[in-house]
Amino acid sequence: MQTLAENLTSQAISPTLEKLILTLANTSKEISHAVRHGALAGVLGATEQENVQGETQKKLDIITNDMLKDALKADGKVRGIASEEEDYVVEADANGEFLVCFDPLDGSSNIDINSLVGTIFSVLPAPAGELTENSFLQAGRNQVAAGYVLYGPSTMLALTTGQGVQLFTLNPETNEFLLTDGAMAISKDTGEFAINMSNQRFWEAPMQTYISDLLLGKIGPREKSFNMRWIAAMVGDVHRVLCRGGIFTYPTDNKNPEKPYKLRLMYEANPMAFLVEQAGGKASTGYETIMDIQPTEIHQRVAVILGSANEVDMCLEYHAQDYSEEPSL
Ligand code: FDP
Ligand code: ZN
């Protein structure tokens, strides 16, 4: 089986990007090790700290953030870093070519229940000049690489550099990522959806109607039964979509009017959208293609609807309709 390093050499990418991807992959092996030791290493549980988004940080959020930050600073080709766990952008090497945005441990609520978590990353070109937050505010289309590492029963790396999506599995004996799927492809159609149903009453009319129609199954307008899954870690839900198709959404809701969206554009939605598009799927907010959004701040949040192309298109048709005449739910 091909190793990650061998596979990267066969891709049309620069040696510096190749090295950066290996830095990310090697750090994820250390994260995998820390996650796997769990309670034995005393890394479970919360800290007293909150991140800039008002979320209590888990011990592992901070440990994994520091591991990635240190490794990327030492890489030599990274100009700056933006992380879910850092309030502001972090300066790395003055001569760096790349900006890296990451969520060091997505799905932190799963940590303490020994369930799926992962690292998500997005690589952008570094513009010339002084490093500021503005340097990062580039549309997802600019990404030169993106991926995630899933710490599950096996540790897996899904990667794209714009040449399809490759899936690697960490061999626990040799600590080497080996290519186990050279071309991940999302089925165009699906009978599976993923959404946090407990928020149903807070969604906008298009999502209310779309999901109601899925739930009606064979007797509804879709004339087909749908199954539901919710891992509560985007990285796990998107992995399932990449493996066997599906539609995953965290839509707009009015639960907290000051926070209509949950997922972060720069280090959750954009990298996942790049992977999904490269695997033949689609990713939208309902009104706009995720990767075409011009970001306005690094911790910006967006609505996300992604997965099997025909199912995402169907969901977008519901968003294109006029609901103004209908009573609000
Ligand atoms: P988490 O806050 O645990 O990191 O990143 C946001 C996220 O997880 C996603 O990974 C996940 O899809 C979603 O939140 C889960 O949200 P719910 O708590 O509403 O289920
Ligand atoms: Zn996350």
Print pLDDT tens along the chain (329 aa): 999 999 999 999 999 999 999 999 999 999 999 999 887 877 788 877 887 777 778 888 899 999 999 999 999 999 999 999 999 999 999 999 999 999 999 998 898 899 999 999 999 999 999 999 999 999 999 999 999 999 999 999 999 999 999 999 999 999 999 999 999 999 999 999 999 999 999 999 999 999 999 999 999 999 999 999 999 999 999 999 999 999 999 999 999 999 999 999 999 999 999 999 999 999 999 999 999 999 999 999 999 999 999 999 999 999 999 998 766 55
Q: Which two tokens stand for residue 208?
A: 């209310």
89 and 147 belong to one structural domain: yes
Rounded to whole angstroms, the Cα distance separating 197 from 265 reads 22
Same domain for 201 and 166? Answer: no
Nearest in space to 21 (alpha carbons), one of 154, 123, 105, 101? 123
Q: Are residues 308 and 260 in the same domain?
A: yes
In terms of residue numbers, what domain contains 283? 192-319
Single residue among 181, 201, 225 that ends a domain in this structure: 181
Å from CA of 77 to ligand 1 middle: 31
Maximum pairwise Cα distance, the chain: 62
pTM above 0.85, yes or no: yes
Which neighbouring-strand residues pair with 156? 150, 169
Same domain, 149 and 264: no
Residues ≥6 apart with Cβ < 8 Å to 283: 269, 272, 273, 276, 277, 289, 290, 291, 304, 305, 306, 307, 312
Ligand 1, atom 17: closest residue by C-alpha: 232
Residue 32 inside a domain? The answer is yes
Domain identity same for 11 and 108 = yes
Quick check: 201 and 256 in contact, CB under 8 A?
no
Alpha carbon of 276 to those of 128, 137, 185, 186, 205: distances in Å? Answer: 30, 21, 9, 8, 26
Going by alpha carbons, the residue nearest to atom 20 of ligand 1 is 232
Closest CA to 95 of 106, 116, 114, 80: 80
3-state secondary structure of 197: helix
The CATH number given to whatever domain includes residue 142 is 3.30.540.10
Position 141 in a domain: yes
| Residue 184: both structure tokens together | 């991940």
Q: Give the end of a domain, one of 122, 149, 181.
A: 181
- Protein residue with least CA distance to atom 18, ligand 1: 232
Question: Are residue 20 and residue 168 in the same domain, yes or no?
Answer: yes
The answer to whether position 328 is within a domain reads no
Number of separate domains in the chain: 2
Same domain, 116 and 84: yes
CATH number for the domain that contains residue 267: 3.40.190.80
User: Does one domain contain both 168 and 234?
Assistant: no
Q: Rounded distance, CA 207 to CA 111, Å?
A: 30
The reply to whether 283 and 246 lie within a common domain is: yes
Ligand 2 centre to CA of 178 (Å) is 25
